[in-house]
Amino acid sequence: MRARPYTALAQVYDRLMQDVPYGDWARFVLAQAEARGVTPRGVLELGAGTGSFTMHLEAAGLNVVAVDASADMLAVAATRLTRSRLLCGDLREVPGDGAFDLVVAVFEVVNHLLEDGSLERLAAHVRRRLAPAGLWVFDATTTVGLRDLWPDGRAEGWADDVRYRWHHAWDARRRVATVEAWCEGPGGAFVEVHRQRAYDPSELRSALGGAGFAEVEVLAYPEGTPAPADAATVWVVAR
């Protein structure tokens, strides 16, 4: 069965991603906020998925508005989150008013913005939703990371009772990676095709600076120091 991205995958996603260090990421994000004198009360999370990162924000006592484009992923999140507000829709058009002390987007959320100008549009939206001294913290995979994703261009194996076989292709002209994700679990087999666009530090600084962010730091994880030029993944802290 061929499925739309993040639909059938939602039912097995957490088994496939069980080694992702969501808790460490949450501590890193909150440490970056603390180091800059920001004590968040309200958090806007973009691309919340199944809520694995959101859970750690809740555990830290934060009030979260969690947004994702996939209703299927949010349906899983709804079974595990206790007080977060879940919204399904375009990340660049989050409805409602009010300012947030902290906006977060983790696990390559911005890399799903494929069209020219999409990151700039998202940055402008986030700036409008931030409190005056608020921060936007997110990670992004660079050209190095998406071009050289897996040895031999594939990843395969088992995650609990889910068998997976994923193939990777790289479009150097567009700087877009395509992953054909085949999975077979208790509910049967399916294929989803996912695409991500690389974003390098210079593009990130340009897009956010153009949207009105005065400070844009591009950092290495977990050190929190300036990211090296050949980093596969970077973290951005923008004010």
Give this prediction's pTM.
0.96
The CATH classification number of 2-143+199-238 equals: 3.40.50.150
For the chain, give every domain's residue range: 2-143+199-238, 145-195
CA separation for the pair 82, 90 (Å, rounded): 23
Alpha-helical segments (H) within 79-198: 118-129, 143-147
Q: What is the dihedral of CA 139, 48, 92, 7, to 10 degrees?
A: 110
Per-residue confidence in pLDDT tens, the chain, 239 aa: 899 999 999 999 999 999 999 999 999 999 999 999 999 988 999 999 999 999 999 999 999 999 999 999 999 999 999 999 999 999 888 877 679 999 999 999 999 999 999 999 999 999 999 999 999 999 999 999 999 999 899 999 999 999 999 999 999 999 999 999 999 999 999 999 999 999 999 999 999 999 999 999 999 999 999 999 999 999 999 99
